Chain A
Amino acid sequence: MRQAIARAWASDFMWSFRHSPVAIVSFIVAMVLIMAAILAPFIAPHTPFDPGSLNLMNGFSSPMQPNQFTGEVFWLGTDDQGRDVFSTILYGMRISLFVGFAAVTFAMILGVTLGLIAGYAGGWVGTLIMRVADVQLTFPGILVAMLIFGIAKGFTPIHLRDQMAIWVLIFAIGLSEWVQFARVVRGATLVEKGKEYVQAARLCGRSGTAIMVRHILPNVLGPVLVIATISLALSIIAEATLSFLGVGAPPTKPSLGTLIRIGQGYLFSGEWWILLFPAATLLTLALAVNLLGDWLRDVLNPRLR
């Protein structure tokens, strides 16, 4: 019975996907970018994160033009350190996507768990969780992330800071986005809790945890997926913004956001490629993910159909 429902849901889902050119294009674009990032070591012609392989004299080469000192040619030019922009974008996108996915996963696990507990247990536990969520919601993510970054940097031993920056970013961005998940899951849990099948499961002596995980969770996955998609785009942008404020990925291992931060300094000086290509990549990635999220929301929210 449940399998049948799942199949029907899936096919309905697929039907909608097949009939939405925007969704298809967005999906393909997002997949191509994600694959390119994962396969960066195989695709990229250079290894921009290995400082020993860089030649500073290659710096500021124009796209497709031989460098005036070394004669080397780079497809998309080089940045201020002589890094091949194309390779750096691939590696940078890896970092951005890693931060984005990890932050969303973290936010999702935290938000869904707390949302389930708040909805199912209720009482003072629920009130406390939702109170914290309210505060978090009014406190803007970017400020939360800056605060956490500041604190975490202080607690991290100096020699680990370079590696820690990424994890701190993940934690900070994730923490600023869990509320959306918690609110939606709590709301759905409250609805599901009153339904007969949950009552039945309870009467059968199932534990609260089992009911939450086995019965309620599958029913709230739809909205969670929508929020996750939109959060992914938000996280990638947030990482870029934090980079502008000086709390982003380290310059020797730049993310897309750090690349844009570096590139914006060369907007007036004619080295447009250092900004344009990373910015276009970020825009394409975020736009594709956002459009997918939009489509998902319309599909999974039957009330809007």
Chain B
Amino acid sequence: MLAFTIKRTFQSFIVLLVVGLVAFSMFRFVGDPVDNMLGQERTGADIERLRGVLGLDQPFPVQYFKFLKGAVQGNFGVSYRQGRPVSEIISERLPATLELAAVSAILAVGIGFALGVFVAIRRDGWVAHTIMTVSLVGVSLPTFLIGILLIYLFSVELNWLPSFGRGEVVMVGEWRTGFLTKSGLQALILPSITLGLYQMTLIMRLVRSEMLEVLRQDYIRFARARGLRDRSVYFRHALKNTLIPVITVTGLQLGSIIAFAIITETVFQWPGVGLLFINSIQFVDIPVMAAYLMLVSVMFVAINLIVDLLYFAIDPRLHVGRSGGTG
């Protein structure tokens, strides 16, 4: 177990280095930050001077090494756009994204699970068929369009819900939360539906197929034959055995939620790290882009690592499968 953990952690570290390299090499192509930073009145000499100050005139490996050195110490430099330390900006914006992602995930898992169980039990009923088909509509339209349509319907036409922002926020320590005010909760509704819809459909379908499979297993048939009531069969036995694969996939999907938050945050002007990333692309704010990508990859790699370790802990067969069985 220990050896496995060390090996996997080491591999994750390599992955991070590669991601950093790829991300960093991308920045040379998204534009020239200097041009944005200096006003309309700048001269050629100003451009040269600022390039020197920012170290943009140095060879690429030197820039990358400097970036890595800073990153290891948690110092991602100063944002070109806002002129403030990147780590400060990110930690200020992260709560918004995490709250949005959490609500979407809960929504997706809760509703997805309930609907999935329902359509599995009533697999041939017309309601189940309708749910299955309608749920596909949600994944057959791009997220940004769903967001805009929701705004049009619920904000402009019905005037029920806010179309942008987080509403009133309250500081709890260092954490700026929207959970504690009415307007903050209202503001969460449309973005979290937009963001969670895709995962919800996915989870629903996954639960359905896992459940159908479990229901076919012999022990369920035995349970039925023994005269156990349907309800007890479904919820005591079948559901329990569906949980593990569903939780695994859901865990892996967390990464997607964070990534798709970029689009949702742009549409709803949600002040999280996704919107920050889009803004920094437009401004070629290299330090912020780099920090965001590193942060996201740390999250992904960590999720991956945890899922793997859990698997390893739960299922000893995996050990054999990974090192012995493939030879």
Residues on A facing B (Cβ under 8 Å) = 22, 122-123, 126-127, 131, 134-135, 137-140, 142-143, 147, 150-151, 153-155, 190, 233, 237, 240-241, 244-245, 257, 260-261, 264, 267-268, 279, 282-283, 286-287, 290-291, 294, 303-304
Please, what's the 1-or-0 string for B136-177, where 1 marks a CB less than 8 Å from any CB in chain A?
A: 110111111100100010001000000000000000000000
CB proximity of B254 to chain A, nearest CB, Å:
9
Contact A237 B256 (CB under 8 A): no
Contact B140 A123 (CB under 8 A): no
Q: Among B22, B141, B262, B304, point to the contact of A245 (Cβ < 8 A).
A: B262
Interface of A is mostly: helix
Contacts A241-B144, A282-B141; A134 near B304 (Cβ below 8 A):
yes
Contact A241 B263 (CB under 8 A): yes
Interface size on B, residues (CB 8 A): 48
12 residue pairs from A and B, CB less than 8 Å apart: A127-B322, A127-B326, A138-B300, A138-B304, A139-B300, A155-B29, A233-B140, A245-B262, A282-B140, A282-B142, A283-B141, A287-B140
State in angstroms the CA–CA spacing of A206 and B308 once bound together. Answer: 36
State in angstroms the CA–CA spacing of A135 and B139 once bound together. Answer: 24
State in angstroms the CA–CA spacing of A241 and B142 once bound together. Answer: 6
Known: A140-B255, A142-B263. 15 other contacts (CB 8 A): A22-B133, A134-B308, A140-B259, A143-B259, A143-B262, A143-B296, A151-B22, A233-B139, A233-B140, A237-B140, A241-B143, A244-B144, A283-B137, A286-B141, A304-B213
State in angstroms the CA–CA spacing of A125 and B307 once bound together. Answer: 22
CB proximity of A113 to chain B, nearest CB, Å:
18
State in angstroms the CA–CA spacing of A267 and B156 once bound together. Answer: 11
For chain B, residues 259 to 276, give those with C-beta under 8 angstroms from any C-beta of chain A: 259-260, 262-263, 266
Which residues of A lie under 8 Å from residue B25 when comparing CB positions? Answer: 151
Residues on B facing A (Cβ under 8 Å) = 11, 15, 22-23, 25-26, 28-30, 132-133, 136-137, 139-145, 148, 152, 156, 209, 212-213, 216, 252, 255-256, 258-260, 262-263, 266, 278, 296-297, 300-301, 303-304, 308, 322, 325-327
Which residues of B lie under 8 Å from residue A142 when comparing CB positions? Answer: 259-260, 262-263
State in angstroms the CA–CA spacing of A283 and B139 once bound together. Answer: 9
CB proximity of B324 to chain A, nearest CB, Å:
10
Q: Among A134, A264, A282, point to the contact of B144 (Cβ < 8 A).
A: A264
Contact A135 B301 (CB under 8 A): yes
Q: Among A233, A260, A303, point to the contact of B145 (Cβ < 8 A).
A: A260
Which A-chain residue is minimally distant from B257 (CB atoms)? A140
Q: Among B15, B136, B140, B209, point to the contact of A135 (Cβ < 8 A).
A: B15
Contact B139 A237 (CB under 8 A): yes
Which B-chain residue is minimally distant from A193 (CB atoms)? B326
Contact A122 B304 (CB under 8 A): no
State in angstroms the CA–CA spacing of A279 and B140 once bound together. Answer: 10
Contact A267 B304 (CB under 8 A): no
Contact B304 A279 (CB under 8 A): no
Contact B212 A304 (CB under 8 A): yes
State in angstroms the CA–CA spacing of A131 and B12 once bound together. Answer: 10
State in angstroms the CA–CA spacing of A123 and B266 once bound together. Answer: 44
Please indicate which of the listed interface residues B142, B145, B278 has the most CB atoms of chain A within 10 Å of its own CB.
B142
State in angstroms the CA–CA spacing of A155 and B26 once bound together. Answer: 10
Contact B137 A287 (CB under 8 A): yes
State in angstroms the CA–CA spacing of A244 and B212 once bound together. Answer: 38
State in angstroms the CA–CA spacing of A25 and B3 once bound together. Answer: 55
State in angstroms the CA–CA spacing of A122 and B324 once bound together. Answer: 10
Which residues of B lie under 8 Å from residue A190 when comparing CB positions? Answer: 326
State in angstroms the CA–CA spacing of A122 and B320 once bound together. Answer: 13
State in angstroms the CA–CA spacing of A294 and B156 once bound together. Answer: 36
Which residues of A lie under 8 Å from residue B136 when comparing CB positions? Answer: 287, 290-291, 294
